[in-house]
Amino acid sequence: MRPTKKDLTKDKIQQAAYKCVARFGFEKTTLDDIAKEVGLNKASLYYYYKNKEEIFLEVTSTATRRFVETLQQSTLEKSGGVAAQVGHYLFERSVYFLQLVEQVHISEETLRQVEHLFYDVIRDVSVQEVAFLANILSKASAGGEIRPIAADQLAANLIILSEGIKEYAKTQAPERRDTEAISSVIQHNLQFMLAIVFAGLRKSS
């Protein structure tokens, strides 16, 4: 189906918003800035979005869907078996939002105000993520790599585990905005926990 004029305009607004946020930071970006960038007046923006937070949510939602699609493809191409694939997927998704926050220059105070937008995006793709990981686990079980398991339940809990590790890592980094340090803590703890999980899932000889 061909995109409508409204769809095309909204896409232009989203692109303009991302450029403005990258240039000025989230707090300093105004609807006037976005309207000027896209070539509309501020009043016209209200036909498409109520505020800049709504624009930002749609921008991050679109970017996240694209990221997840790319990540799933790279996960399927990952060698080393099911443990390596699951580890790759969980690590990359864990650091994604940390990097996104850094890219748009959101202060700690504003991040607390808009953090729910990130959680909304996560929830929006969570069903797809669980299904993807469950499929990988089911294939590994069918191929004899791991013992039979409730794949959907395990997939959901692995994502919960990675989220918990991410939150822990944020508290351990000397500087909460140091994404490299946080990512290192995530990777170390995720590898440790997944080694235990998959040791228990291996079929007895």
Token pair of 145, please? 């790599």
Q: What is the DSSP letter of 3?
A: P
Q: What pLDDT score was predicted for residue 142?
A: 96
Q: What pLDDT score was predicted for residue 103?
A: 63
Which distant-in-sequence residues (6+ apart) come within 8 Å of 87 by Cβ?
190, 191, 194
Average pLDDT over the chain, rounded to an integer: 86
3-class secondary structure, 65:
helix
Q: What pLDDT score was predicted for residue 146?
A: 96
Q: Which residue has the higher pLDDT, 101 or 180?
A: 180
pLDDT of 98 above 70: yes
The sign one gets for the Cα dihedral 139, 145, 150, 154 is negative
Count of other CB atoms within 10 angstroms of residue 112: 10
pLDDT of 160 above 90: yes
Average confidence (pLDDT) over 79-99: 92
Average confidence (pLDDT) over 128-146: 96
Average confidence (pLDDT) over 122-149: 91
The sign one gets for the Cα dihedral 155, 130, 121, 76 is positive
pLDDT of 120 above 70: no
User: How large a percentage of the chain has pLDDT more than 90?
Assistant: 48
Average confidence (pLDDT) over 22-48: 88
For 126, how many CA atoms within 13 A lie in the half-sphere containing its CB? 15
Q: What pLDDT score was predicted for residue 139?
A: 96
pTM: 0.80
pLDDT of 15 above 70: yes
